[in-house]
Chain A
Amino acid sequence: MARKGRAAILPNNIILLQNLVKRDPESYKEEFLQQYSHYESLRDIFMVNGMAQTAAAAAAASSSTNGVADDSANRVETNSVGINGNASVGELVELIGFISQVCSCFPVQTANFTNELRQLLLEHHKTLPFELKEKILVSLTMLRNKGVISAEQLIQTLFPLLIAYSLQGNSLGLNSHAKELRRLIYNNLVTLLKNCNLGSKNQKLNKSTQAICFNLLDQPDSQGIWAAKLTRELWRRGIWDDSRTVEIMTQAASHSDAKIALSGIMFFLDADREREETFEENSDDDDDSVNVDALKHRLEINKKTGKRAKKLKNAINTVKKRNHTKGQANQNFLNFSAIHLLRDPQGFTERLFKEHLSGNKRNNKFTMEQRISIMQLLSRLIGTHKLTVLGIYTYFLKYLTPKQTDVTKIMAASAQACHELVPPETLQVLVRKIADEFVSDGVANEVAAAGLNTIREICSRAPLAIEETLLQDLIEYKQSKAKGVNMAAKGLLALYRDVAPEMLKRKDRGKTATLEIIDKQRNGTKNSTRDARLQFGADHGVQGIQGLELLAQWKRDHATAEQNDDNDAANWEVDNEGNSDGEDVDGAWVAVESDKEYNVASDSDLELSDDDNDNEETATEKTKTTAAEAFQELATTRILTPADFAKLRELQTEDNVLQQMGHSARDQGSRNEEIIDAAGLVGPVKYKQTREERIAKIMEGREGREKFGSRKGKREDGHSTTNREKQRKKNFVMMIHKRSVTGKQKMSLRDKQKVLRAHITKQKKRGH
């Protein structure tokens, strides 16, 4: 009986059948198999037609010389085949969709199906019509989502297609829709990789895809552009963020094809910024889309309905989910910049320089702009990793002339490429060239300022890059009338007062530096921390813990105050955090003196207290401590707790803020990694503003401000007519006999004049 009921629903279109099969695959197996064999016969017809089509096309091509009659016959034939093809395309598309929808219900019967689709696509894509190709692609993606084929298989299908369609020959073919297909395939690839890496990273898939990318870039043709593009996209989205990815891009960057090389180079220059922007955008979206608090509040105020409550619940769920994924994303996402993840920065930089910039003359495949990008990347690499690529400094010399386009960028790059491990002789040439070309009385103010600023940037990285006499000459520009030049020279002066005051003229050294030098001379050289002269290659390695002196300073400042209080109150407290490692061994509670500094180290109590006393003494003597002293003081005597580190971090950020405000000297360590702003090298330039600029500035000032001017007689809130208005509008005939009106005629002339005068002034004041 059940059979009969089922038979009552007779499927006579594919969609209906699909619905039925999905609901009850076993009962409709027969129909499915029928449709499957229908698909097979259609496919066979298609294959035959396709062959005929290509053959006919070939025949038409060959017979074009033969004669008119022959040609026309051929045309009829191709025409007919084409029409037949079109007729069955729609049906085939429909059937492929149907089978791929339900084939997970019949895995045994359709074992060949996916393979066939892939073959159709890979081997016969030239003859298939666009709709069919599109459908097959979509179906394959769907099959991947259903888990019928693996992601690797899909990728192995997609990549060759992508390559095939970016070849010249294919994309020029009639109705090939190469552009659409490329976009479709590329988007498919990106979403596929995104989906596969959603929860945790699918390392296997990533590795195989990256291997394909490597292979693509190995070939000398321009197909590698897809590998570069894909990698960059995935990096931007934070899906790939390991050193293998960066390795792909290094290969792209040193590729012989200019387009690919440039994409690799731009990746290293921009990708990290792009990635940050993407993440910021995403977080922005999160913030304004759902506001749970507001929803809750509204729910409290408004009438309570089930619908609204449901809405709130949904909102809370989405927020929870998002927070969850966000946390995960942050966890997965290690924020290393691409340049830091390089495996062999020295080798990469040398190769890049050799292949793209230096050497043979025929290397003019890059435009000037592109060459500047390469220079920027090279200098950034050299600066960040302190590499030694000596050729680049002489290469810069060629371009360092004021007439050069975008010279500020080149100057910024040349400054970026300097660091203290480059031999001073090499850099001195560079600095000399800049000084000769840019800094003289004959050039414009901006040019001189740019030159001086560049020299300052170079010297801040490598103080030995300038000779003493040149430095002293350049500092003479501090008396320049032009503000930019003046400021630049003063900046240079300030730098050398800090770094090497000995190189300055005596009058320029300033008070503190002079005192220091005198002090040193008095004490002899053995006590001084710094040698009289800077030396190349002297060790400036990282010592101790960064910012420790700040912590020491802070402790000292607070210790004295706190100690007094605590001693008076004599309250005891146990510092669990500090004690846990040392004291638990004893297993007994130990009362510890409650000063905050008191952290137990492995030393005995007695020694420690001595140290404390010493510290306090020094604290009272000197307010400022050096890093070395602080290290001596804190790190040797005690173990730093997490709380200490937190405080340290806080102090460091505070100090950084102060630095930003221009309060304190910069530190040497992180200098190399910050990027020099090319536009900033020229310094402040003041032009006369145009009218538009001035108006814009005025308007900017008015933003969010109430309008000025009298508000007399302007009432914005709605109101009824006033008595005065009523009086004024009253009918004249009604008023004519009132005394106030008749009396006016009896007024004396003088009174009339007075009234008139008063009226006039009143009107004037009112603004009529």
Chain B
Amino acid sequence: MGKSKKQKQKKKDFLKRKLKVGKKADHPSNQTDTSFVAKTISLKNQHLEHETDLSKRLTLLRHHNITVRKETLQDYQKHLPEIIKTQLMTPLLTHAIPLICDDSLAVRDSLIDLLDEVGKLDVHVLVLHCNIVVLYINMAMTHIMPRIQMDSTRFLGCLLKYCSDEVVRQAWLKLLNGVIAVLGWGMFGNNQASGALQTKKRDSKYTKVHLDVLTELIRVGCSDAKSRAAADDTNNNEEEDNLENYVEDNNNISEPFMLAEYPQPYEYLKLFARTLKNKKNIQTDELAVNSSMANQDIDSRRAIFKEQFLKKVDKQVDAIIKDGGECGKSANNLKQLLDELFV
């Protein structure tokens, strides 16, 4: 008299299954089997590395790790030929330029390399971002960390190499002030800054860089573009080729009525710039009066330099020449240039 099948099944439901070590537990009764069998699998699209990948790495420029920042810069430098004509350049530069004030020397070095590379590949990119670079260089020149201050002239040197005209037109006075402050020649007060005083003796190497940059700055700022172009012709520098186009017809009378050859010719009017207005009567120093106007043409630049700086520079240069060495050589160059320009 065996029990019916149904009864057996019913009983089975209420039996407790024993779990055994080393054996898999039974599947629950309500499990659904999702396995299937297919002959082929087709994927719609394949994920490949794109150029946009580079734009995603922009934030790495603000990474807290020095090495990461440095390597990102180097990486971009490597890829520059591909991206130089793309939209990516603006974000790249706006991200990279603040690194002028970076704490680490390695990062600043690779940034200089990057800027140099950009200048070599396409001058116009650098010219476009010139004002921001100048602003940051200016900031670095007054930075509280002496190392950053010292390096600021190297950036300036790099910039002068490619877009000198733009630089002097935009910030002649500011940069002159800055370089001289970095040199510790004390334009502001009566006594020298302690930081400059300390580093001056220690780092003749830096002083040489400063002097060279100052020489270059004065040469660019105070000498005629035409004569320079003539000089450059002999050097046959490729980046000066584009300058030549408009230098040719410099004497043309119609020139004032033509379109200006450089971007934003009326910038000094500050029609679209956001600035804070100061009352005229409480202007702090005379240097700042019409400073933007003063930068525009060679004559005014020369006049300002002659008026404000020439004496001081002369005096300091003489002292350095006396000391001799590497710095003496650079100082001598500067002196020659000054003699040549301001007879």
Contact = CB atoms under 8 A, between A and B. Distances in A.
Interface of A: 3, 6-7, 9-14, 17, 27-31, 33-35, 37-38, 41-45, 47-48, 50-51, 73, 76-77, 79-81, 83-84, 87-88, 108-112, 115-116, 119-120, 124
A393 to B, nearest CB: 61
A65 B142 CA distance: 44
Nearest to A112: B278
A116 B276 contact: yes
A25 B138 CA distance: 24
B142 A30 contact: no
Interface stretch (B55-63, B206-214, B227-235): B55-63
A331 B98 CA distance: 60
B30 interface: no
A84 B194 contact: no
B144 A42 contact: no
Contacts of A124: 274
A84 B274 contact: no
A12 B142 CA distance: 12
3 closest cross-chain pairs (CB), A and B: A38-B142, A30-B193, A33-B188
A76 B91 contact: yes
A155 B27 CA distance: 77
A355 to B, nearest CB: 44
B198 A10 contact: yes
A38 B177 CA distance: 12
Interface string B133-158: 00110110011111000000000000
A88 B144 contact: no
Contact of B274 (A11, A38, A50): A50
B205 to A, nearest CB: 20
A31 B195 contact: yes
A50 B197 CA distance: 37
A438 B278 CA distance: 73
Given A38-B144, A42-B139, A88-B98, A31 B193 contact: yes
Given A34-B142, A51-B274, A77 B189 contact: no
B50 interface: no
Interface in B279-303: 279, 282, 284
A12 B144 CA distance: 6
Contacts of B274: 47-48, 50-51, 124
Contacts of B98: 84, 87-88
Interface string B177-210: 1100100001011111111011000000000000
B90 A77 contact: yes
23 contacts: A27-B191, A28-B194, A30-B186, A30-B193, A31-B194, A34-B142, A34-B144, A34-B193, A37-B178, A38-B143, A41-B135, A45-B135, A45-B136, A45-B139, A47-B274, A76-B87, A83-B59, A87-B98, A111-B282, A111-B284, A112-B278, A112-B282, A116-B278
Contacts of A77: 90-91
Contacts of A50: 274
Contacts of B273: 47, 51
A48 B135 contact: yes
B275 interface: yes
B62 A87 contact: yes
Nearest to A120: B276
A109 B59 CA distance: 39
A120 B274 CA distance: 10
B192 to A, nearest CB: 6
Contacts of A27: 191
Contacts of A37: 138, 142, 177-178, 181
Given A34-B181, A45-B135, A119 B277 contact: yes
Nearest to B186: A30
Interface string B54-97: 01001100100000000000000000000000010011001100
Interface of B: 55, 58-59, 62, 87, 90-91, 94-95, 98, 131-132, 135-136, 138-139, 142-146, 177-178, 181, 186, 188-195, 197-198, 273-279, 282, 284
A51 B181 CA distance: 29
A493 B274 CA distance: 81
A6 B195 CA distance: 11
Contacts of A73: 87
Contacts of B178: 37
Nearest to A110: B284
Given A3-B197, A7-B198, 12 more contacts: A6-B194, A12-B145, A29-B190, A30-B193, A37-B178, A37-B181, A45-B139, A47-B273, A48-B135, A76-B91, A77-B91, A80-B91
Contacts of A76: 55, 58, 87, 91
B57 to A, nearest CB: 12
Nearest to A54: B274
Contact of B275 (A29, A47, A110): A47
Nearest to A109: B284
Nearest to B138: A41
B139 A83 contact: no
A77 B181 CA distance: 34
B188 A84 contact: no
B109 to A, nearest CB: 20
A50 B90 CA distance: 16
Contacts of A33: 188-189
Contacts of B177: 37
A11 B144 contact: yes
B189 A29 contact: yes
A44 B135 contact: yes
Contacts of B135: 41, 44-45, 48
Nearest to B188: A33
Given A30-B188, A112-B278, A116-B278, A84 B139 contact: no
Contacts of B186: 30
Contacts of B59: 83
B257 to A, nearest CB: 31
Contacts of A81: 94
A83 B144 contact: no
Contacts of B62: 83, 87
Nearest to A69: B87
Contacts of B94: 80-81, 84
A108 B144 contact: no
A116 to B, nearest CB: 5
A83 B138 CA distance: 20
Contacts of A10: 146, 194-195, 198
B80 to A, nearest CB: 18
Given A34-B181, A88-B98, A112-B278, A14 B191 contact: no
Contacts of A51: 273-274
A80 B92 CA distance: 8
Contact of B142 (A35, A79, A88, A112): A35
Given A38-B144, A80-B58, A7 B194 contact: yes
A51 B276 CA distance: 13
A30 B191 contact: yes
B315 to A, nearest CB: 18
A79 B87 CA distance: 14
B166 to A, nearest CB: 16
A108 B283 CA distance: 9
A539 B1 CA distance: 125
Contacts of A80: 58, 90-91, 94-95
Given A73-B87, A119-B277, A41 B192 contact: no
B155 to A, nearest CB: 14
Contacts of A120: 276
B312 to A, nearest CB: 15
A41 B188 contact: no
A525 to B, nearest CB: 83
Nearest to A6: B194
A121 to B, nearest CB: 11
Nearest to B137: A41
Nearest to A34: B142
A614 B90 CA distance: 110
A10 B193 CA distance: 10
A84 B95 contact: yes
Contact of A108 (B192, B197, B276, B284): B284
